[in-house]
Amino acid sequence: MQRLAMDLRMLSRELSLYLEHQVRVGFFGSGVGLSLILGFSVAYACYYLSSIAKKPQLVTGGESFSRFLQNHCPVVTETYYPTVWCWESRGQTLLRPFITSKPSVQYRNELIKTADGGQISLDWFDNCNSRCYMDATTRPTILLLPGLTGTSKESYILHMIHLSEDLGYRCVVFNNRGVAGENLLTPRTYCCANTEDLETVIHHVHSLYPSAPFLAAGVSMGGVLGSSPASGSLLSRKHRHMFVKQIDMDHVMKAKSIREFDKRFTSVMFGYQTIDDYYTDASPNRRLKSVGIPVLCLNSVDDVFSPSHAIPIETAKQNPNVALVLTSYGGHIGFLEGLWPRQSTYMDRVFKQFVQAMVEHGHELSSM
């Protein structure tokens, strides 16, 4: 309560100073208008600090992982203050792509071949000017996995690379087949349940830098190699001709929902008998028990695509390698904070602290 009172006094003071400088009493004809605004502002501040700004729920499968996060990744136990004028789920979800900045990143593109004759586009940020890790052979490498139809150009990916640059790390972005402008060489894209392309990329990157610390960070579908369904890139006319011999593309293009698209295309392409078989296989819940390396998952309970009832809290508690950070607000890939959230989000801060903790202190987990 003492902390809440301090936050309330600070926020009320900031609002008063702002209104004093920005609002002319003459505009209202008297001081009554200003008093009303101040009263409303204080009431809103009380509601915000008591009901919106909250500490996330930290769920771990073991005391060691929990202690590690509290020591080296304190952001997961600190109060998350969503943007005061945009804390609701849909607003956070819709506004992030438009309101956050897009840092400039110069990539080096690499196309690698797959066993079935296809190709995967990788975008590298080598960070050759790294002062912390001047030796490229031991420079930490972060594999970034974008969300559904996402590429290396997404703002959240660019922010992760910018933060990794500050830490001295190297990044490589895994663009799923057909989404980054490259041609499809075989009639196959990607789906939520198939990990063959990811395995190919991991082996390739590790073979290039076998002595470097190697971590991965995924967003949305990339977070579990597809926790959300579909391969939206195939809606392009560009790739349609690759599938006409095995799939009725006219029927596919008439789909009015993701489920219809997956039923007519994704589940057929990857050999599932029914759409429910595909969704069952694609669910990350069934794989959570077998996670063998430290994994941190960030999810807001108001996420419209990954709602609270679908979060496997009890399963996570059974695996000492898994930790869930559940915020009350944040939407889907939102996590906006600050009055004008252009540069950083709560998700960015979680990412930076966790990867740095794993690179610099990860050995503590193996000794606990």
Q: What is the 3-state secondary structure (H, E, C) of the chain?
A: CHHHHHHHHHHHHHHHHHHHHHCCHHHHCCHHHHHHHHHHHHHHHHHHHHHHCECCEEEECCHHHHHHHHHHCHHHHCCECECCCCCCHHHHHHHHHHHCCCCCCCCEEEEEECCCCCEEEEEEECCCCCCCCCCCCCCCEEEEECCCCCCCCCHHHHHHHHHHHHHCCEEEEEECCCCCCCCCCCCCCCCCCCCHHHHHHHHHHHHHCCCCCEEEEECHHHHHCCCCCCCHHHHCHHHHCCCCCCCCHHHHHCCCCHHHHHHHHHHHHCCCCCHHHHHHHHCHHHHHHHCCCCEEEEEECCCCCCCHHHCCHHHHCCCCCEEEEEECCCCCCCCEECCCCCCCEHHHHHHHHHHHHHHHHCHHHHHC
Query: 331: number of CA atoms within 13 Å, CB side?
Result: 20
Residue 96: CB partners within 8 Å, gap ≥ 6? 155, 156, 331, 333, 334, 335, 336, 345
pLDDT at position 38, please? 78
Report if residue 11 sits inside a domain: no
260 shares a domain with 111 = no
Residue 303 annotated as catalytic = yes
- The torsion angle over the Cα atoms of residues 84, 85, 90 and 92, rounded to 10 degrees, is -60
236 shares a domain with 255 = yes
Report if residue 147 sits inside a domain: yes
CB atoms within 10 A of CB 296: 23
Q: Tell me the two tokens of residue 94.
A: 């819709």
The confidence band for 202, taking pLDDT boundaries of 50, 70 and 90, is very high
pLDDT at position 327, please? 96
Find the range with the poorest average confidence among 99-108, 142-151, 181-190. 181-190
Alpha-carbon gap, residue 317 to 61, rounded angstroms: 4
Report if residue 17 sits inside a domain: no
Residue 101: CB partners within 8 Å, gap ≥ 6? 155, 159, 342, 343
Question: When comparing pLDDT for 317 and 30, which is higher?
Answer: 317
299 shares a domain with 289 = yes
Q: Average pLDDT of 277-281?
A: 90
Residue 363 annotated as catalytic = no
Alpha-carbon gap, residue 296 to 72, rounded angstroms: 13
204 shares a domain with 292 = yes
Confidence check: pLDDT of 3 > 90:
no
Q: Phi-psi bin for 49: left (phi > 0), alpha (psi -120 to 50), beta?
A: alpha
Percent of the chain with pLDDT over 90: 59
Of 121, 130, 220, 328, which one is the catalytic site residue?
220
pLDDT at position 353, please? 98
Report if residue 42 sits inside a domain: no
> At which of 246, 266, 282 does a domain end?
282
172 shares a domain with 205 = yes
pLDDT at position 151, please? 94
pLDDT at position 232, please? 39
348 shares a domain with 278 = no
> At which of 282, 305, 320 does a domain end?
282
Beta bridge partners of 20: none
Alpha-carbon gap, residue 195 to 281, rounded angstroms: 12
Residue 251 domain boundaries:
228-282
Confidence check: pLDDT of 150 > 80:
yes
pLDDT at position 28, please? 47
110 shares a domain with 220 = yes
Confidence check: pLDDT of 87 > 60:
yes
Q: Tell me the two tokens of residue 343.
A: 């540069």
Confidence check: pLDDT of 144 > 60:
yes
The confidence band for 104, taking pLDDT boundaries of 50, 70 and 90, is very high
213 shares a domain with 71 = yes
Alpha-carbon gap, residue 193 to 191, rounded angstroms: 6
Q: Average pLDDT of 202-215?
A: 97
Percent of the chain with pLDDT over 70: 87
Q: Average pLDDT of 166-185?
A: 93
184 shares a domain with 73 = yes
Alpha-carbon gap, residue 254 to 261, rounded angstroms: 8
Beta bridge partners of 142: 171, 215
345 shares a domain with 258 = no
pLDDT at position 194, please? 85
pLDDT at position 228, please? 34
Confidence check: pLDDT of 316 > 70:
yes
Q: pTM for the complete prediction?
A: 0.86
């349940």: which residue's tokens?
Answer: 193
Of 159, 162, 239, 332, which one is the catalytic site residue?
332
pLDDT at position 230, please? 38
Of 121, 303, 306, 348, which one is the catalytic site residue?
303
Number of domains in the chain: 2
pLDDT at position 233, please? 41
Q: Average pLDDT of 193-209?
A: 94
* Rounded to 5°, angle at Cα 228 from 341 and 270: 145
Cβ–Cβ < 8 Å for 174, 201: yes
Residue 220 annotated as catalytic = yes
144 shares a domain with 259 = no
Report if residue 41 sits inside a domain: no
Distance of CA 327 to the CA centre of its chain: 13
232 shares a domain with 220 = no
**Residue-wise pLDDT tens digits, 225-240:** 533 333 334 445 767 7
Confidence check: pLDDT of 29 > 60:
no
> At which of 212, 247, 282 does a domain end?
282
